[in-house]
A and B are shown apart, each in its own frame.
Chain A
Amino acid sequence: MAADSDLARLTLHEARDRVTAGEVTSAELTEACVARIEEVEGSVHAFAHRTTDEALAQAAARDAARPDPLPPLWGLPIAVKDNICTQGLPTTCGSKLLANFRPVYDSFVARRLEEAGAVILGKANMDEFAMGSSCENSALGPTHNPHDLERVPGGSSGGSAAAVAADECLAALGSDTGGSIRQPACFCGVVGLKPTYGRVSRNGLVAFASSLDQIGPLTKDARDAALLLGVIAGHDPDDSTSACQPVPNYEAALEAEVAGLTIGIPKEYFGGGLDPAVEEAVRAAIATYESLGATTVEVSLPHTEQAVATYYLVATAEASSNLGRFDGIRYGVRQEGKDLLDVYKRTREEGFGAEVKRRIMLGTFALSAGYYDAYYGKAMAVRTLIRNDFDAAFGQCDLLLTPTAPTPPFRLGEKLDDPLTMYLSDIFTIAVSLAGLPAVSFPTGTTAAGLPLGAQLIGRHFDEARLLAMVHAFEATGQGRPLPAL
């Protein structure tokens, strides 16, 4: 039914407006998304688990209730990354080890979605334990880029990005540790926001690197991101690293002026290795902002070169500790063994994929006695220098504009055997994570071959509203997301 597919193509805010006006029901929206999933999921594989029956029941319940005033996401179908705990629904983190795991509790953001009235369509596919940049490291098989099924959707929130890009849901939640929201958003031609560290509670997000992980929205436009961020942001007393900062009305702030702002262009982000098409698109975006009255200034982030190495020490060190709990004793898939040590070894040998094992080994080494100071200790020191770089840059400008990823989406399998090259696909997003800053990737057109391109805006701490207003202003010039030909 044609009308169904049309409904799935709505943005989150368009759907919200129609539900509020009583023009469309949650059931119709949900059925439209389910129909779209039926249509394209066979080729995209954005979902790790579909919760169609639960979603349809939830949609019916939303339609029956309709409280007044209507909560902000009432009846709107959304996908949630599979590392975000949803009580009673599978939460496998793309891992064989958690294939049978259903959390006994809801994450903070899942509770917020429930209170806002959202309908959870399913759990989005991801690189195992959010470790990867292509969504190929999933025990459930890779997700394909809706714009070119031969290419990766990016990662680790590749399922979330692909589901939004392919209109299989109205919006999605992802998580970003070193670029895992921004890079797939860029690859799939959608908006992906990594909030300031502490802006969104991590409670219920299965930890990869605790000092870096943040949950954020992947959406069809800036207003959707504002809407979704407004629902999930805020202080959570159950997360000691959650910020006690007031949550602004992000949607109302979208209309803020671009004119008069100073955009910093970090020179280190435009060196060798940057794909010409990507660079051209970013330069075009700079020109667009200048035409809107912003001024640009070249700035320097001198420790950019150290960011990837720093990240792969800090993140893997934390991961090696965070993933220790997956021992098969209390939950997850246990492999029996001849003694306790054997149970641990076999469970983890069988349960974890190659990339996860690689990072656990890296992190274990970085924290080892005798190596701690040279690796983890040094990385923490450099992390401070990277933060200082950004502080200094923000003395000269209001925000930064950079490429999101050095290349357009690459082919499936292209970098799978070359982890170092794979790690470099996060080169522009990693420093931001180390500094705990908010950043958004937004679509800036496509390559000649129709592959999505994107750029990244980086803000000061808790400056998400300004980032979204910037993206909104860019979209208002007629440059929205590219639609896949699926």
Chain B
Amino acid sequence: MEYETVIGLEVHTQLKTKSKIFCGCSTTFGAPPNSHTCPVCLGMPGVLPVLNREVVTCAIKLGLATRCTVNRSSRWARKNYFYPDLPKAYQISQYEAPICEHGYVEADLESGETRRIGLTRIHMEEDAGKNVHGAADDDHSYVDLNRAGVPLLEIVSEPDIRSSEEATAYLKRLRSIVRYLGISDGNMEEGSFRCDANVSIRPMGSDTFGTRAEVKNLNSFRHVAHAIDYEARRQARLLAQGKEVVQETRLWNTAEGKTYSMRSKEEAHDYRYFPDPDLVPLEISEQWIEAVRATLPELPADKEQRFVVEYGLPPQDAATLVASHHLADYFETVAGAVKEAKRAANWVLGELLAVLNKLGISVEESPVEAAALAALIRLIEEETISGKIAKSVFEKMVATGKAPAAIVEEEGLVQVADPEALRPIIQQVFDDNPTQLAQYQAGKTKLMGFFVGQTMRATGGKANPALVNKLLREMLPEPTAPADGG
């Protein structure tokens, strides 16, 4: 039987507020263990939480950006369970009345198609600390509570996702949004953007849901995709064997590329959620919502649309550029300083991204600033250098950080665009290659490329290719036979 995979994702994104959600401790990552703690986030007896309003502002931002309803009144709830990294033995979260509900995210697929994924809810909560287990010769475990109380938003999608590709596209778009909003680093590997996947399958065409497994420990987009594909196969195999899928929590094992059962439905925690009596219901005024709305930046979907219209970019290029607002800004700086936006896009998506990927750095850390890339492109547009030379100039810009004009001058790379200088060179190429010349004349016009190449080589790549083409057409003998390439 053919099955359809049904996926819902739960994303936890860590907010970049200066202080924790319920106390004044710093949220800075990487400090010595337990140095960013106070009686409140240590869960000392008698302490009380005081809400950091900035967290609410972040939640409103994301709610508005994902077309959610921002609830004017929401409640805090306690999620009770015992674990050493959870100092109060409960996590302050939201349960029955979350801050945002009923939104959506539009994700671009490889095919160019756009999928709208519904959001059930977005709620605020505090992060737990971290258990650190001692090395081989140390049988102790340690608790670092620096992270305890760092604010999180949990974003729960509807079971609208149908493939690992859609899941990845959704996650990438959601990450772009939180980064555009400046509310989170959105870094999966560092844990500031975490994802659990609820996966089930059902016969193609069915409209009832199958039994789902919740998969945890997914630390990269790739793991999410692999785990979903694995789960879909595993569940299909079970059904094919006449077995049933059981509702359970499973852990993704990266090394083996498999999921393993962590706990069954029967073993699931009863979190005994109830409204937190230490916090009053959160009332959000219309003014607050509107004030936040006024600060919203242009979001990826809008920017993508604008790039297509304003710069005439293909949707796929626009989508790649807007994935990071830093990259989009970079592109716009370049595009604004050159004649052809399309050329700017090609350079950013081609040469620049290749270098950034090779160096493993982000566009903010690019060794070539947008203005410098624009200057390089202008040299092409002004026909000072050829596109080919420009690529080598770009490499030198990456290596030395020098301005393109300086490199062109130092290395004598200025394009030869003077017909009178090129004609003798072309003539020399003809003289050096009589056989090819004869073949051309005999009708093998494909050899045009050969002569372009030879001429470019003779000029050290500095000849203006368009001009070379033009001069060659003038100077090459008229072919006698039809141009069939022979």
Contacts and interface: CB of A to CB of B under 8 A. Distances in A.
B84 A210 contact: no
Interface in B297-313: none
A324 to B, nearest CB: 3
A105 B47 CA distance: 9
Interface in B49-106: 49-51, 78, 80, 82, 84, 87-90
Interface stretch (A39-47, A200-208, A245-253): A200-208
Interface string A192-228: 0000000000111111011100000000000000000
A1 interface: no
A321 B47 CA distance: 14
Given A240-B279, A240-B280, A321-B274, A331 B44 contact: yes
A110 B268 CA distance: 42
A367 interface: yes
Contacts, number: 102
A327 B46 contact: no
A368 B270 contact: yes
A240 B89 contact: no
Interface stretch (A96-104, A161-169, A269-277, A298-306): A96-104
B84 A329 contact: yes
Interface of A is mostly: loop
Contacts of A98: 45
B95 to A, nearest CB: 11
Interface residues of B, number: 28
B272 interface: yes
Contacts of B48: 202-203, 238-241
A104 B44 contact: yes
Given A325-B87, A340-B84, A368 B272 contact: yes
Given A240-B280, A330-B87, A325 B272 contact: no
Given A237-B50, A240-B280, A340-B84, A376 B274 contact: yes
A79 interface: no
A237 B50 CA distance: 8
Contacts of B39: 103-105
A238 B45 contact: no
B412 interface: no
Contact of A325 (B89, B270, B277, B278): B89
B270 A369 contact: yes
A296 interface: no
B143 interface: yes
A238 B39 CA distance: 12
B42 interface: yes
A203 B272 contact: no
The 7 closest A-B pairs by CB, nearest first: A324-B89, A211-B277, A367-B272, A210-B277, A206-B45, A204-B46, A85-B46
27 contacts: A84-B46, A93-B45, A101-B45, A103-B39, A103-B44, A104-B44, A105-B39, A105-B47, A107-B46, A202-B46, A204-B46, A204-B47, A206-B45, A209-B277, A237-B50, A238-B50, A241-B277, A241-B280, A317-B274, A318-B277, A324-B82, A325-B43, A325-B87, A329-B84, A330-B87, A364-B272, A367-B274
Given A202-B48, A210-B278, 16 more contacts: A93-B45, A101-B45, A103-B44, A103-B46, A104-B44, A105-B39, A204-B46, A207-B46, A237-B50, A321-B90, A324-B88, A329-B87, A330-B87, A331-B45, A372-B272, A372-B274
